[in-house]
Amino acid sequence: MTEPTLPAGVERHEFDGSTRLATRGEPVYGEPTDGEWRAWDPHRSKLGAMLELGMDTGLAGGETVLYLGAASGTTVSHVADFAGPTYAVEFAARPARDLLEAAESRPWLFPLLEDARKPETYAHVVEADVDVVVQDVATRGQARVALENARFLADDGRLLLAVKARSEDVTRDPEAVFDDVRAELADGYELLEDRRLDDYHTDHLGVVARPR
Ligand SMILES: C[S@@+](CC[C@H](N)C(=O)[O-])C[C@H]1O[C@@H](n2cnc3c(N)ncnc32)[C@H](O)[C@@H]1O
């Protein structure tokens, strides 16, 4: 089986003797750089882990992206380095300050201080038919958030979702949590691939899906 190709604008570069994913842009979280390239740390990024593990994200580069749970911009800054317009939703004010800083050198990165459970609050800003929704909210009701934001996706768009089992229920077996999330997601999405991200993020599932 051939590995899915990386999106244009994401390359493997040598940093301190090891080959790592990288994008081209201003550093954001103290990551090592090699000229214009900065390392993308899969231990700090679920999407980075999905790419590192060879999941077929469908990303080609240049996409319009809605990113839910942007926090201080670690991952979404890499996304904005290779994607097109990137709308970054985060509801906590503290990390959003760092997110605004990451956006200063990225004209295509649009931070939105909103609640991803209330898509109507940013529907007037986010353009219709985005190519990709990336979601990493690590909060209870992760499938519900993905379903509520499906309205933004183009028919052939992709949901790239990270599910944190412990955010749903700390006491349950993660596999049982993931089964429930898969079943709920099926209300609005066709699941194309899922994979445990434990090599990088304990008890997390990476999911690639498209709207039904
Ligand atoms: C695991 S962190 C995200 C890390 C980030 N995706 C990265 O890789 O750089 C989860 C973030 O989702 C945010 N979040 C949780 N629920 C949210 C909601 N309903 N709306 C917007 N942001 C939310 C949290 O405030 C937190 O910053």
The pLDDT tens digits of the residues spanning 46-87 come to 999 999 999 999 999 999 999 999 999 999 999 999 999 999
pLDDT band at 2 (very low <50, low <70, confident <90, very high): low
Vertex 144: Cα angle to 152 and 176 (nearest 5): 135
Rounded distance, CA 24 to CA 208, Å? 25
Residue 1 confidence (pLDDT) above 60: no
Q: Is the CB–ligand 1 distance for residue 71 below 6 Å?
A: yes
State pLDDT tens for residues 92-140.
999 999 999 999 999 999 999 999 999 999 999 999 999 999 999 999 9
Full set of structural domains in the chain with CATH: 41-211 (3.40.50.150)
Count of C-beta atoms within a 10 Å radius of residue 61: 14
The whole-number pLDDT of residue 91 equals 98
Tell me whether 0.90 is exceeded by the ipTM. yes
Question: Of the residues 28, 52, 81, 90, which should be mutated to test ligand 1's pocket, given the most ligand atoms within 8 Å of the CB?
Answer: 90
Residue 166 confidence (pLDDT) above 90: yes
CA of 211 to the centre of ligand 1 (A): 22
Radius of gyration of the CA atoms of the chain, in A: 16
